[in-house]
Amino acid sequence: MLTLADLTALNQSQAIVIYTGWERHALVGSDIRLSCSFFSWRWTSEDVTFSWTYRPDGSRDSISIFHYTGGVPYVDNKGPFRDRLEFVGNPGRRDGSILLKNLDFSDNGTFTCDAKNPPDIVGRPSSVRLLVFEKVPIQAGVITGAIIGVVLGLLVLIVAIYYLMRFLVARRVFNLSVRSVPGLCPAALCQPGLQ
């Protein structure tokens, strides 16, 4: 049975849910926005914090690259993004997004965002994987959409041909039946040489 102290402790801190994309693709030399937002049952606190870490591909260690607290953004001035990272979020709207500039192949890796909205400080950080390419590959969704579009187009074409054939056959049968009934056929159409 819960005591009064347990109930007040539950009310003081609730879970925060953090959202990022799952995977982002970008071209060498381009800029990319990595989005991070959160859901909390509380109003956005003045003490809201955002932290971003980066783990390069093939590495086990994460590097802290950005921290926002007390209304001030702090960018790592020694790491791989020292002159290429900009805070573009809006903490009042629960947005802790960052912009990475002039991407290179060495930027491939996993970026993790963590947010705290005191007293909501319990939550799991969210990660997004960045893949930098010379040319962005065609994604499976584009290929699937093209295949579905072609199949639907062929289906519409087949149905249109089917109904056109039915119409032409019905018109031919009607013309033949009109010619076979005396008195219904106009004299110009019912001449023996026209059949």
| pLDDT tens digits for range 94-112 | 999 999 999 999 999 999 9
Report residue 157: phi and psi, to 5°: -65, -45
| pLDDT tens digits for range 38-87 | 999 888 889 999 999 999 999 999 999 999 999 999 998 888 998 999 99
Report residue 168: phi and psi, to 5°: -65, -40
Higher-pLDDT residue of 23 and 137 is 23
Q: What residues are paired with 131 via a beta bridge?
A: 25
The pLDDT-based confidence of 187 (bands split at 50, 70, 90) is low
Residues 6+ apart with CB under 8 A from 88: 33, 97, 98, 99
Dump strand ranges (E) for 77-178.
Answer: 85-87, 98-100, 109-116, 126-133
- pLDDT above 70 (res 182): no
With a threshold of 0.85, does the pTM exceed it? Answer: no
Task: Let me know: does 67 contact 50? Beta carbons within 8 Å.
Answer: yes
- C-alpha torsion sign, points 151, 155, 160, 161: positive
Helix (H) or strand (E) holding 67: strand 63-69
Cis peptide before 119 (omega within 30 of 0): yes
| pLDDT tens digits for range 147-177 | 899 999 999 999 999 999 999 888 888 777 7
Alpha carbon 85 to its chain centroid, in Å, reads 23
Edge-to-edge order in the sheet of strand 126-133? 23-27, 126-133, 109-116, 49-56, 63-69, 72-75
Q: What is the pLDDT of residue 51?
A: 97
Three-state DSSP state, 65: strand
Residues 6+ apart with CB under 8 A from 162: none
